[in-house]
Amino acid sequence: MKIEDMKEIPVDSTYEYHGRVVNVRVDHAKTPSGEFVHREVVEHPGGVCIALEDKEGKFFLVSQWRYAQERVLMEFPAGKLEKGENPKDAILREVEEETGYQADGLEEIGEFVPTGAYGQETVHLYYAKQGKYVGQHFDEDENIITTKKTLEEIIEAIMNGEIIDGKTCVLAFKLKERKERYAKKEIRTDCSK
């Protein structure tokens, strides 16, 4: 079977729940082999996450109570997309709200799908340098503590279980690999002179 032949075709949908953040629907779909199956889908508008690096090479992290996990999680600054919102606009808004700083030299690092089996959420990952301070302004329901760590400290915190947030783990390792590849490229360039 070819990848392009793997698509399942929705036949009909029934919504089981409409919420402020997610909707839940059950689809009746036809598989490539002609079978009919039920697929549960959690609709989510997606999110954004940023690794914001300060002038000393440390990254901003936010700690906040995560109700579903029943504990405080340490994460890179992040937020939910509003319906139809451009991810770049969302991350610029979220980084200011949570850190108080603007993002200079915003670079997209990729995407992360937290739960592809049933969730539509895609998190857009970014990197930037700390820009001008404009002041924090949290949402009404947010209580956030902001800290900073080096990338090495973040990786160690992931490895020892202090940081378990998926988007933060993915972005930290992507950023680490990106920096290592960039450093190797610079070394090769310098050697060729």
CATH number at 132 reads 3.90.79.10
Token pair for residue 166? 């998926």
Which alpha helices (DSSP H) does the chain contain, by range? 87-99, 151-159, 166-191
Same domain, 58 and 34: no
What total of structural domains would you count in the chain?
Answer: 2
**CB burial of residue 151 (10 Å; 0-12, 13-18, 19+):** middle
Domain that residue 37 falls in: 7-43
pLDDT of residue 21: 94
**Cβ neighbour number for residue 173 with a 10 Å cutoff:** 14
pLDDT of residue 188: 58
Tens-digit pLDDT profile for residues 6-55: 999 999 999 999 999 999 999 999 999 999 999 999 999 999 999 999 99
**CB burial of residue 137 (10 Å; 0-12, 13-18, 19+):** exposed
Same domain, 66 and 37: no
Residue 150, CB-side half-sphere exposure with 13 Å CA sphere: 6
Residue 49, CB-side half-sphere exposure with 13 Å CA sphere: 28
Residue 182 lies in a domain: yes
pLDDT of residue 191: 40
192 pLDDT band (50/70/90 cuts)?
very low
- Whether residue 106 contacts residue 89, with contact meaning beta carbons closer than 8 Å, is answered with no
Same domain, 55 and 30: no
pLDDT of residue 80: 96
Same domain, 97 and 82: yes
Residue 193 lies in a domain: no
